[in-house]
Structure 1
Amino acid sequence: MNRLPIEDILPELKAALSSRVNAVLVAPPGSGKTTRIPLAFMNEAWLKGQRILMLEPRRLAARAAARYMAQLLGEQVGETVGYRVRLDTRIGPKTRIEVITEGILTRMLQTDQALEGVGLIIFDEFHERSLHADLGLALALESQAVLREDLRLLVMSATLEAKAVADILGDAPVICGSGQVFPVTTHYLERRLDGRIEAGVVQAIFSALTGSEGDILVFLPGAGEIRRVHAGLIEAGIAQYARVALLYGNLTAAAQDIAILPSPPGERKVVLATSIAETSLTVEGVRTVIDSGLMRVPRYSPRTGLTHLETLRVSKAAADQRRGRAGRLGPGICFRLWTKLDDMYLEPETMPEIMAADLASLALELAAWGVTSLSQLRWLDPPPEAAFGNARDLLGKLGAVEANGVITAHGRQMTQTGLHPRLAHMVLKAVEIGFAGLACELAAILSERDFFKGPDNDLRLRVETIRKLKPGGSGLEWLLPQGVDIGSCRRIKAEGDRLKQDFGIPLNPQDDIEDCGLVLALAYPDRIGQQRGIGRFLLENGRGVIMAESQPLAYSPYIVAADLDGQGSESRVFLAAPVGFEQVRRYLGQQIIEETTVAWDAAAQAVRTRRVERLGALILKESFCAESNQEDIYAALLAGIAREGLSILPWTRAASQLRQRLLFCRCWEEDGWPDVSDEALLGTLASWLGPYVCALTSRAELARLNLAAILEGLLIWEQRQKLEEYAPTHVVVPSGQRIPIDYSKPDSPVLAVKLQEMFGLKETPCIAWGKVRLTLHLLSPAQRPVQVTRDLANFWDTTYFEVKKDLMGRYPKHYWPEDPMNAIPTNRVRPKTK
């Protein structure tokens, strides 16, 4: 057994856990902590023959760590060292070290809160801060404090802010170790890649093959990018230079092993991996790392209640982890596909999953544990209140918790399935109504990434696919052109069969695939969608969703959406199934509300009374009825007027002018005059308009209102008398004509009058008892403005003579005197002569 750097600090670590129950270990990648620490503690006296549980963030890392430790002991996995991961367990009666994924620890704690027979829990790679790691640590600390004072907890990481963890562990000692890491030369791009990253990655791989030795590990954000880069490498002739291996979570264990095992002598390999290869897992033979600088993480939106995958820049810590993979065997090279400037703006740490994840499962686990308030447990980062509140609301709708957060018997059953709360509820309810087999198949499909790469988003096709799968993966030849991942399909079918066995259901159910939508509605009652145009649906929760018109489901009257992107005002639907109206009525009838509504109908421009059957935001059925309460009609009419705006009212010329005059009075003499602005009138409809519309129901009936009289009703007697003097409707000009005043601009009322009618007048007419000069629009004989002024005397003295020249040329027969201030005013071509 080769000596590793971690062994130098083993005495200090052993001493710490001999005298204390908790400790923190910080050691870099390559130090040997994952495989040497459990073996070193196996025979400690305080362990008393009990088991060690070591948590790994990923299934692949858990299997690899267990296999390597078993090899060090000269044994097979399942003897002294074993593992438990989802859908795969290798544990025997003599097993002392169990490498488990984090969700398994939660299940074990819920089954036995004291964890009898376990003496040490190791949280490996805790810096990844997965949701289950944070939850597992919180529950383990609670178990330790209440039931198991002797239970040891060891938190290990390569890049961890140790003080915060040590604090919640009760001021635990922090031990730091060194690593066997060789220097890594880091290269950056001179300028950013244009467009998608795949072409740049392919180019970087070929450059690395000619300029470096050993195997190459390439980090990409997801399986889609991996497949596209793989295709680009094949097209470019990679086969003559190296073998390509893929490494991501949805591959089979055998396919993953191909990527992590050493290459045969004289052969090089290029491993295309997601962030699964950042930590814990050692990919043998790697001397070069190519980092795309991207990662794909789930992000939950409390606004929409949906989780979507988001592609983000890696953090500095994650980038350093990736680079470190090149320095395990000797000096290495890392090609970062971003610039040095971009590197300066990377976030220092990756956001903990608990801060941005769907918390429904966590909320259910806490309820099962007996926690009704987040403050009852110790958290490194408490879950966000908004997301946790949404999770509790969802559990309430599913009947899993009471209003006070206490778990129900149904909720307790849900925790025992190991499924997401939505899927657990779906399976349990489907058992009651006779669709259990179909529900188990849907739960298995929805618990994994989609194995069907074709364009069709219909879930029925996925169910049909796994039902046609035969032993060995055959039976799907008809779907191969559409890109079915046979390995994933086989694994999902196995999980569906396991669920059926757990519920005592035949492995070959007779459930009709056409009932997929109904069963799906049990899990996603808030995502029942009603068509409102081809490819556009309104969901029960009020959200809008869309799908391409080329999708067959785009034409379904009703669907249930299982997988959405949660972005934008209308989310895209990735997976769904049709559901029948009568199925919704029959099986979800308790959620359908019957009510009578009285509301303004914008299309009819009238108040309408309807009897409505509603499922959340969806109107399933409605009919008009004559019976209604007069108060409801009155309220609906006023609401309709507020919605439509004041333009719905019959504004005659007299009513409009009166309103403008009142606005003028308020503008120049605010005291006491009513506010008749749009905002004020719309905000006080009930007080000024309400008494006149009590018996009205439509726009047609509103047209009979006398708005001028209604507005006059807002004035006291003194204001009515003052209005005529202060803001007259007309002005008598020198020609003897009564010209109306335009009050549309309250701060600057306008008098539009022919220039010839103003001859002989020296000063600009005023209103408001001489305080406000009118703005004169002096018009030509054709009623077109030739001058705008508020200083008539100055106009006569200066500008008139220029205007006169122009007007004499256009209107030679008209009267254009040399002395306008002493001329005879006229509204004719020429003034009358005596």
Structure 2
Amino acid sequence: MTSLPIHDVLDPLIAALRSHTRAVLQAPPGAGKTTVVPLALHEAGLVTGKILMLEPRRLAARAAAERMAQTLGEPTGKTVGYRVRAESKTSKDTRIEVVTEGILTRMIQSDPELTGIGAVIFDEFHERSLNADFGLALCLEIADALRDDLMLIAMSATLDAAPVAALMGGVPVITSQGRSFPVETRWLDRPVPKTQRLEDATAALVLQAVSETQGGVLVFLPGEGEIRRVQSRLQHAVPDDCTIRPLFGAMPFQDQRAAIQPTTQGRKIVLATSIAETSLTIQDIRVVVDAGRARRARFDPGSGMSRLVTDRVTRAEATQRQGRAGRVAQGICYRLWTKGEDGGLAPFPPAEIEAADLTGLALEMALWGAQPDDLAFLTPPPTGSFEEARNVLRMLGALDAQSRITPHGRKLAAFPLHPRLAHMLVVAGKQAAPVAALLAGRDPLGRGSSSDLALRVAAMRDLRGFTERHPDQVNRAAIATLRDESKRLARLTHDAPAMGLGEMAALAYPDRVGKRRNTTEHRFVLSGGKGAIMDPQDGQGAAPFLVVTDTDGNPREAKIRLAAPLSYREVCDVFADQITWRTTCAWSKRDRQVTARKQECFGALVLTDQIWKDAPQEDVAVAMLAGVRDLGLTLSPAANRFVARVNLVRDAGQDLPDMSPDALMADLENWLLPHIQGIKTAAQWKKFDVLDALKARLDWTQTQTLNQHAPAHFTTPLGRKIPIDYSGEHPGITLRLGELFGQTTHPMVGHTPLRVTLLSPGQKPVQTTMDIPGFWASSYADVRKDMRGRYPKHPWPEDPTQADPTLRAKRRKT
């Protein structure tokens, strides 16, 4: 193997990991950290389990895995593999797996102990992506609470290492000097005129660089659109021996590979986004042309989601790009700005967590069960942005009023989408996949086009027919990307009843349903309370209702960029559980709610203007009984346990009421009616817990009889009450093993032994027994041996019968 600068620091790095299990590695571009460090850890036998390395981009992940596999003389997917969105190449023999950053979060959420993972490497951590910051915070908590053997390494080229080392617990910082060749920097003599397009100025500078230099040219541009336009300008202007290669994230992998590989003849001109700044060494590059722009994710209040915006590069990014010209030989860097302008560049790009939409992060944290202060973030989530994210999640039904995740929220977290779009997919199914792809991706028609969302869907479904009607209006490459994404999303969801385009969009944007103001066309009031205006020439301005999916973000009256028409009935269908109905008190099967007169409101929208007069609550409750008969009686887990107890004792001959399903439905007026005042929609009924109403069916004597023969809880030695499950063959309880230390008799219900399921500190079952003394005397020793290895911070006494019960880890030594 060719010696690289990183080889000089491998021994100190391995020594630091042996002593601390964590380290920060600083290594400039070209040092070899990405492809050498994982192999070195593997070959040193330092890691028990798989080595996971995170890369911020898919191309870098695949390229790094392929390079390491090539070093080993193996195919990718054997010892070294990779996993990125919609693609993986691994096997049972894989010991080093390179993944994109979001995949780590999914792995942790599904397996909080990261079973089988011995080390996690955060490569290019200086980019400070939201996924990397969150992933490191989760790993630090896992290592502190469950896996003190988990090795963590943060690797970076330009990061201020001291704060990261402190965050990780005061760990060692290992620094490699790197290797690069001198790079000459050439600035413009005067600034680019404001009237000149970026593509024209960049193309001119590329032609100058080609005429003055030798070797491959790497051109940095902010995005695919600029790359395509510069490519068009250069195609017939560069010498015949020049090959132009685009390079951006949405390209097919084989085209990305072609851009990275050296050309066999002539010169190569690579037109790339920031994907080429780090991790990748593009062969035969001697010249860099930097257009001075970077595209970043930033929360856009106009769309309610993260959007890519174009900014000036920072000094750190410009330095990083400049260094690409000196990776393999002396080079030259052309900058599309003057030396005077260089002094005005910001020093570093902001951490993504400071400027991004945090809705996805808030959902993941709720799924993890953590508050922002609970995790070790290098940059904590801004309080205002985080609370706004929670408001959106509550609106979507993903969080409850206490900001705890709901079952629906768990479904949303499983989708690789913004929670708004995931909500739309969960409810509307496969038919919403094209809409989700459109709203998550780039507009294939551009912002100068009509605001009609349906035009974009039509272009996706029938590109040929659309282009015949609208020549030169559609971005074919964007359509192809959107189609691929739509197919991928469709595979992740289900079929559902047919919905209109406006209905589906409204699921994602319940706060953007607009009603046209009575006196003025093209002006709308939105359900979230804001105003919006549409271009007077836009045909959708006369629609009575629409759903707005994109605006310019003006806080007073936003300009509508993208929308879909919506009918009055569609508003009612989609938001039936959120509309306040005020009509005669009767159950409506069609609307699935009790209606009381004809005025209804949705958010800030008044759908009808009749005035509601007070309706007696008793009438509403009686009407709701018809709804219960229509919808059926659904019991919560607690209510089911109560019913099981009552029926068990009743079947044993005690005088308790019949709580079979048929008996409960037949007697709704007597036991349910007094308890359902205020319940009038299907959604409310679904959330309503009938437990109190069922308990009220028993008088004091019957309640005492029930508690005597089938108590609801078992009280542990620590005084905690554990619900007893009577649904199985034997009544049972589930609790942590340590909570029964000192218990010398088996827990009983009357004369019946309980089925006891014992859990590890990680809440995983380790033993089910109906003989606790026998368990202590027999298999506990084996369980103790296993638990001491997996949870060394918790007490595992040799004689559990003499130990105090506990739910806590051992005290730290001071």
TM-score (norm 1): 0.67
> Per the alignment, do residues 521 and 126 of structure 1 end up closer, same or farther by CA in structure 2, a change over 3 Å counting?
same
1:585 alignment counterpart? 572
Q: What is the CA distance between 1:486 and its match in structure 2? A: 4.9
Matches within 5 A, 1:523-672: 523-532=508-517, 533=520, 535-567=522-554, 569-593=556-580, 613-623=600-610
SS of the equivalent of 1:46 reads: coil
Q: Go from structure 1 to structure 2 and tell me whether the alpha carbon gap of 1:503 and 1:458 turns closer, same or farther (over 3 Å shift).
A: same
- The one of 388, 391, 406 aligned to 2:389: 391
1:518 has 2:503 as partner: yes
Instruction: Give the Cα–Cα distance (whole angstroms) in 1 for the partners of residues 59 and 316 of structure 2.
Output: 21
Verify the 8 A CA contact 1:220 1:272 in the aligned structure 2.
yes
1:232 is matched with: 233
CA contact (8 A) 1:414 1:428 kept: yes
Q: Is the 8 A contact 2:430 2:494 kept in 1?
A: no
Q: Contact (CA 8 Å) 1:59, 1:101: kept in 2 or not?
A: yes
Deviation sequence 1:146-201 (CA, Å, 0-9, x none): 11110001000000000000001000100000212111111112221112322221
User: Equivalences for 1:339-418 in 2 at 5 Å?
Assistant: 339-371=338-370, 373-418=371-416
Is residue 181–residue 326 contact of structure 2 (8 Å, CA) maintained in 1?
Answer: yes
Contact 1:452 1:484 in 2 (8 A): yes
Instruction: Give the AA of the match of 1:277.
Output: A
Shift of 1:100: 0.8
Does residue 80 (structure 1) correspond to residue 61 (structure 2)? The answer is no
Distance of 2:302 and 2:534 partners within structure 1: 21
Cα shift readout 1:649-695 (whole Å, capped 9, x = no counterpart) = xxxxxxxxxxxxxxxxxxxxxxxxxxxxxxxxxxxxxxxxxxxxxxx
Instruction: Report what 1:332 is aligned to.
Output: 331
- Aligned partner of 2:435 in structure 1 is 442
Q: Distance in 2 between matches of 1:237 and 1:328?
A: 28
TM-score normalised over the length of structure 2: 0.69
Cα-to-partner distance string for 1:76-107 (whole Å, 9 max, x where unaligned): 22222211111222222211111111110000
Q: Distance between the aligned counterparts of 2:79 and 2:216, measured in 1? A: 33
Q: Give the whole-Å Cα distance in 1 for the aligned partners of 2:294 and 2:224.
A: 11
Query: How far off is 1:13 after superposition?
Result: 0.8
In the TM superposition, residue 502 of structure 1 has moved relative to its aligned partner by: 3.4
- Residue equivalent to 2:760: none
| CA spacing shift, 1:324–1:138, aligned 2, 3 Å | same
Give the whole-Å Cα distance in 2 for the aligned partners of 1:411 and 1:510: 21
**Judging changes above 3 Å, is the alpha-carbon distance between structure 1 residues 450 and 59 closer, same or farther for their aligned structure 2 residues?**
farther
Q: 1:374, CA displacement in angstroms?
A: 1.0
Q: Cα distance 1:408–1:570, how it changes in 2: closer, same or farther (>3 A)?
A: same
State whether residues 219 and 269 of structure 2, in contact with CA within 8 Å, keep that contact through their aligned partners in structure 1. yes
Q: Within the alignment, does 1:459 sit opposite 2:453 as a pair?
A: yes
Contact 2:506 2:574 in 1 (8 A): no
Gaps of 5+ in 1: 431-435, 597-609, 628-834
Per mean C-alpha deviation after superposition, the further-off stretch among 297-306 and 14-23 is 297-306
SS state at 1:337 partner:
strand
Task: Spell out, residue by residue over 1:540-588, the C-alpha distance to the aligned partner (whole angstroms, 9 max, x if none).
Answer: 2233344444544344332222233435644444443222121002221
| Aligned mates of 2:576, 2:417 — CA distance in 1 | 26
More displaced 10-residue stretch of structure 1: 568-577 or 121-130: 568-577
What letter corresponds to residue 9 of structure 1 in structure 2? V
Structural mapping, 1:770-781, within 5 Å: none
Contact 1:315 1:348 (C-alpha < 8 Å) held by counterparts: yes
Percent of aligned pairs sharing the same letter: 47
Contact 1:5-1:31 at 8 Å conserved across structures: yes
Q: What code does the residue aligned with 1:577 have?
A: A
Is contact 1:438–1:516 with CA below 8 Å preserved after alignment? no
User: Does the aligned pair in 1 maintain the 2:56–2:101 contact within 8 Å?
Assistant: yes
Structure 2 CA distance, aligned partners of 1:164 and 1:401?
33
The alpha-carbon distance between structure 1 residues 292 and 577, as it changes in their structure 2 partners (threshold 3 A), is same
Query: 1:690-739, CA deviations, whole angstroms, 9 ceiling, x for partnerless residues?
Result: xxxxxxxxxxxxxxxxxxxxxxxxxxxxxxxxxxxxxxxxxxxxxxxxxx
CA distance in 1, matches of 2:515, 2:171: 56
Query: After superposition, where does 1:102-113 map in structure 2 within 5 Å?
Result: 102-113=101-112
Q: Contact 1:307 / 1:565 at 8 angstroms: preserved in 2?
A: no
Aligned partners of 1:443, 1:305: CA distance in 2, in Å? 14
Give the 3 Å change call, closer, same or farther, for CA 534–292 of structure 1 in structure 2.
farther
What's 1:602 paired with? none
Match of 2:268 in 1: 269
1:7 maps to what in 2? Answer: 7
Distance 2:493 2:582 in 1: 39
- Determine the structure 1 residue equivalent to 2:217: 216
Q: Which residue of 2 aligns with 1:198?
A: 199
Aligned length: 596
- 1:594 CA drift (Å): 6.0
2: CA distance, partners of 1:342 / 1:171 = 39
- For residue 213 of structure 1, report the CA deviation from its aligned partner: 1.1
Q: List alignment gaps of at least 5 residues for structure 2.
A: 584-596, 615-814
User: d(CA) in 2 for partners of 1:213 and 1:113?
Assistant: 53
Matches within 5 A, 1:2-151: 2-48=2-48, 50-151=49-150
2 CA distance for matches of 1:222 and 1:451?
14
Amino acid at match of 1:529: G
**Cα pair distance change 1:42/1:289, threshold 3 Å:** same
Larger Rg: 1
SS of 2:310's partner is: strand
**Hey, what's the Cα distance between the residues in 2 that align with 1:315 and 1:362?**
26
Give the aligned partner of residue 825 of structure 1.
none
Q: Equivalents in 1 of 2:251, 2:451: separation in Å? A: 22
Q: Is contact 2:458–2:466 with CA below 8 Å preserved after alignment?
A: no
Letter in 1 for 2:157: A
Deviation at 1:328, TM superposition (A): 0.6
CA distance in 1, matches of 2:471, 2:253: 25
CA distance in 2 between counterparts of 1:221 and 1:614 reads 45
Q: Which of 424, 444, 463 is 2:422 aligned to? A: 424
Q: Which amino acid aligns with 1:429?
A: V
Shift of 1:487: 5.3
Q: 1:396 to 1:425 in 2, by over 3 A?
A: same
Change (3 A) 1:292 1:154: same
- Shift, 1:452, TM fit: 4.7
CA 1:213–1:595: 2 relative to 1, 3 Å: farther
> Judging changes above 3 Å, is the alpha-carbon distance between structure 1 residues 511 and 215 closer, same or farther for their aligned structure 2 residues?
farther
Displacement of 1:361 in angstroms is 0.4
What displacement does 1:325 show? 0.6
The 5 Å alignment of 1:270-309 reads 270-300=269-299, 305=304, 307-309=306-308
Contact 2:302 2:552 in 1 (8 A): no
Partner of 2:297, secondary structure, is strand
CA distance in structure 1 between the aligned counterparts of 2:450 and 2:87, rounded to whole angstroms: 31
* 3-state SS of paired residue (2:607): strand
| Matching of residues 498-513 of structure 1 within 5 Å | 498-505=488-495, 511=498
Q: Distance in 2 between matches of 1:249 and 1:548?
A: 34
Evaluate the alpha carbon distance shift between residue 530 and residue 247 of structure 1 in structure 2; reply closer, same or farther with a 3 A threshold. farther
Say whether residues 1:168 and 2:167 are aligned partners.
Answer: yes
Instruction: Quote the Cα distance in structure 2 between the aligned partners of 1:479 and 1:354.
Output: 43
CA separation of 1:547 and 1:69: change in aligned 2, threshold 3 A:
farther
Across the aligned residues of Structure 1 and Structure 2, the Cα RMSD in angstroms comes to 2.8
| Aligned equivalents of 1:99, 1:338: Cα separation in 2 | 37
Classify the secondary structure of the residue corresponding to 1:591: coil
Q: Pick closer, same or farther for the CA change 1:491–1:303 going to 2, 3 Å.
A: closer
Distance 1:228 1:88, change over 3 A: same
> Does structure 1 retain, via aligned residues, the 8 Å contact 2:301–2:553?
no
Change (3 A) 1:570 1:66: farther
Tell me, in whole angstroms, the C-alpha distance in 2 between the residues paired with 1:549 and 1:96: 61
**Structure 1 residue 482: deviation in Å?**
4.1
Structure 1 residues 208 and 535, CA, compared in 2 at 3 Å: closer, same or farther? farther
